[in-house]
Amino acid sequence: MATIQIQPRLGKGDMNDPHKRHDSEPTTHFGFQDVPESQKAEKVAEVFHSVAAKYDLMNDVLSGGMHRLWKRFTIELSGVRNGNRVLDIAGGTGDLTRKFASLVGPTGEVVLADINESMLKVGRDRLLDKGVAGNVKFVQADAEKLPFPDNHFDVVTIAFGLRNVTHKEDALRSMLRVLKPGGRLLVLEFSKPSSDLLSKFYDAYSFRFMPLAGKLITNDADSYRYLAESIRMHPDQDTLKAMMIDAGFERVTYHNMTGGIVALHRGIKP
């Protein structure tokens, strides 16, 4: 029986209370809002607690099924083989994990890790329903502080997760640490469309259709407005490439998909 290693939710009276604000505290963006850094994770958590139950349906509706192709390319480029150890961080409902589990076989291992227990529970139930078990572990973890040994994984993936992380540089360094030398990181994320015409169409689609679809299907326009805003605030292709190199990755490359709406970055641990 697959278990999830769950951590308690932070209460308002806890140490490091995210509701306490120090005037000197740096701020960061939550979509287009500026918020104290200590509050971003909690706000992101609210979004994913809210969308978890209908996450897969909304993925298909909003991307017109395209997310399946973007993920298929990620799997191809990962080069995952029989016996590998793979970490799918921010793995959510487990699309990548499911495919990796069949590629690594019974001698390999896949860890689906996510900070959000609602997403993890939907992911675990879904994978168990599909008969995936045995070589998959479910772990509640923050990408910034991965609770795994050094030099442990052959491949680490983060799909549509990095833009939600408060300290992206810390997360990239944490992913580097847990990879074996020669291991590969794949970052699948929304990015910057390469043509102005596509950008205009995409803006109209994101800021009008996405919140409307969120309201009609999940009665939650705000989460889908955050989705559109967080995509615009995420580093573009070359900025993310530079961040991966700064974190210590080598041979960093990226591939644009769907005109740059999505990009897949890959880097190797020296």
Ligand X SMILES: C[S@@+](CC[C@H](N)C(=O)[O-])C[C@H]1O[C@@H](n2cnc3c(N)ncnc32)[C@H](O)[C@@H]1O
Nearest to 111 by CA among 97, 131, 122, 128: 97
Total interface residues for ligand X by CB under 6 A = 20
- Report in angstroms how near the CB of residue 235 gets to ligand X at its nearest: 16
For the chain, the first-to-last Cα distance in angstroms comes to 37
Q: Contacting ligand X (CB under 6 A), which of 35, 87, 111, 165?
A: 165
Smaller CB separation from ligand X, 137 or 181: 137
Please report, as residue ranges, which positions from 6 to 35 form the binding site for ligand X (by CB under 6 A).
none
Contact yes or no for 187/121 (Cβ under 8 A)? no
Query: Per rule CB under 6 A, is residue 132 in the interface with ligand X?
Result: no
| Residue set of the binding site for S-adenosyl-L-methionine | 93, 114, 142-143
Is residue 181 exposed (0-12), middle (13-18) or buried (19+ Cβ within 10 Å)?
exposed
Query: Per rule CB under 6 A, is residue 117 in the interface with ligand X?
Result: no
Query: Per rule CB under 6 A, is residue 146 in the interface with ligand X?
Result: no
Smaller CB separation from ligand X, 16 or 24: 16
Q: Contacting ligand X (CB under 6 A), which of 30, 31, 80, 92?
A: 92
| Residue set of the binding site | 93, 114, 142-143
Please report, as residue ranges, which positions from 46 to 65 form the binding site for ligand X (by CB under 6 A).
48
Contacts (Cβ under 8 Å, ≥6 apart) of 76: none
